[in-house]
Amino acid sequence: MNVVGVIGAGTMGIGIAQVAVQNNKKVIVIEVNEEVLSKSKANLFKTFEKLVEKEKVTSEQVASFKSAMTFTTQYSALKEADLVIEAIIENLEVKHSVFKKVEEIVSESCILASNTSSLSIASMSAVLNIPTRFLGIHFFNPAPLMALVEVIPGVQTNAEVTELVKTEMLAWNKKAVVVKDTPGFIVNRVARPFYGEALRIYEEGIADFATIDWAMTHFGGFKMGPFTLMDYIGNDINYTVTESVFEAFYFDPRFKPSFTQKRHKEAGLYGRKSGKGYYDYNENAQKPSPTEDVSLGKYIFDRILAMLINEAFDALFMQVASQEDIDTAMKFGVNYPKGLLQWADEIGLENILQTLTNLFEEYGEDRYRPNPLLKRKVQSVQ
Ligand SMILES: NC(=O)c1ccc[n+]([C@@H]2O[C@H](COP(=O)([O-])OP(=O)(O)OC[C@H]3O[C@@H](n4cnc5c(N)ncnc54)[C@H](O)[C@@H]3O)[C@@H](O)[C@H]2O)c1
């Protein structure tokens, strides 16, 4: 694959274009909005200069990157593309119209991909003349820094296309994992309890935001606690992902969104970007102190981690991805300190099952049901 087309020069598109050009591809960036196009181009070129200052690349390399890139509003420029990655607004109708247009321009052998976070690959491929060449290539934000790429074949994708794209992503120095076309793929599905269970613990009055964050960073080694992370991602975005995963799983209570986060979203308390979320980011604001109670902290950590591990087991049980890929995805897509399935082995599967069984018995809620694969594995060693 020598020529890569990227559609959309927003946050993700421009990042993907940077990754492609730094891997010696000729890159064509298509954007409908001229202002966005020139701003994104200027920002990317500034990034290149910064990389030269940091001695990550040479100025000769930057000159070749720049000359290998085309920035345009004209779709016809995609004619020579071997691979086209779409990163436009998350709207099925708009994506359909874009792919129909692209298919009229590119060659028959050109692979078409979407960077969608929440739409199914099957639904997007439905409008294509050659759906076998279509799949998901899901980068994480910021694309140049995050190592993970989820490669998602749809029901109609040719196996060779999946293999080719996986090989290409590995050549781009990415950790490429192959994922079934299911809601949230790996990361946005398996990570849900990190937020959801933390919110539930808060709503039950067990602990405040700062204490829950302390428990997860102190006992778990997570870089950020759930509330700090939700404020960082933005409560508007994080809530919307939770809601869409919940709906896509036919309202499975495991993914039930929280009123606390909904109210924060409704009030405009998005987090860092709005100045206030669960925490106050204004200059003179005082950061609340956690209650550093060891038994409380351990309870919080054990409960959230058990829920995360249960979700990782569910993804494995439903053959969403391999054990290795599920662990790789969480380490490199959300920077977890360890893969969840490896972590489960270290703690002991019977201990995880016990934590979940206790929660299930105490609450009687389907949300806490232990995964059958976890149960089977514990039984098989007894
Ligand atoms: N932002 C994230 O963290 C993230 C992470 C992974 C995946 N994604 C997915 O990537 C995609 C893009 O997200 P984003 O955050 O970069 O959005 P964005 O709003 O930053 O950028 C989208 C860009 O596409 C342009 N655009 C819209 N319609 C177009 C068209 N028909 N042709 C060409 N350009 C068009 C818009 O003008 C805009 O500049 C979405 O599908 C999203 O779900 C986002």
Catalytic, out of 115, 117, 238, 310: 117
Number of neighbouring beta carbons within 10 Å of residue 376 = 12
Closest CA relative to residue 119, chosen from 143, 167, 81, 86:
86
Calculate how far, in angstroms, residue 95's C-alpha sits from the geometric centre of ligand 1.
10
What digits encode the pLDDT tens for the residues 30-49? 999 999 999 999 999 999 99
Residue nearest to atom 25 of ligand 1 (CA): 8
Domain borders along the chain are 3-178, 188-381
- Say which CATH architecture domain 3-178 belongs to: 3-Layer(aba) Sandwich (3.40)
User: With 80 as the cut, is the pLDDT of residue 96 above it?
Assistant: yes
Candidate list 103, 150, 168, 197, residue with the active-site label = 150
pLDDT of residue 108: 96
Distance, C-alpha 165 to centroid of its chain: 18
Nearest-10 crossing angle of helices 340-347, 323-333: 110
Q: What does the DSSP 8-state code read for residue 367?
A: G
What is the CA(327)–ligand 1 centre distance, in A? Answer: 27
- Hey, whose CA ends up nearest to atom 3 of ligand 1? 141
- Answer positive or negative: Cα dihedral of 140, 161, 125, 20: positive
Contacts of 72 (CB under 8 A, 6+ apart): 28, 29, 30, 31, 37
Chain position carrying tokens 């981690």? 305
Instruction: Examine the pLDDT at 382 and tell me if it is beyond 80.
Output: no
pLDDT tens per residue across span 314-369: 999 999 999 999 999 999 999 999 999 999 999 999 999 999 999 999 999 999 99
Residues with CB under 6 A from ligand 1: 7-13, 30-33, 36, 87-90, 94, 98, 115-117, 139, 141
Residue of 130, 33, 43, 45 whose CA lies nearest to 84: 130
- Containing 148, the helix (H) or strand (E) segment is strand 148-153
pLDDT at 381: 80
Ligand 1 atom 2, closest CA: 141
> How many degrees, rounded to 5, is the angle at CA 185 between CA 327 and CA 135?
115
One CATH from 1.10.1040.50, 1.10.3720.10, 3.40.50.1820, 2.60.40.10 for 188-381: 1.10.1040.50
pTM: 0.95
Burial readout 255-293 (b: 16 or more C-beta within 10 A, e: otherwise): bbbbebbeebbeeebbbeebebbbbeeeeeeeeeebeee
* 33 included as an active-site residue: no
Check pLDDT > 80 for residue 82. yes
pLDDT for 300: 98
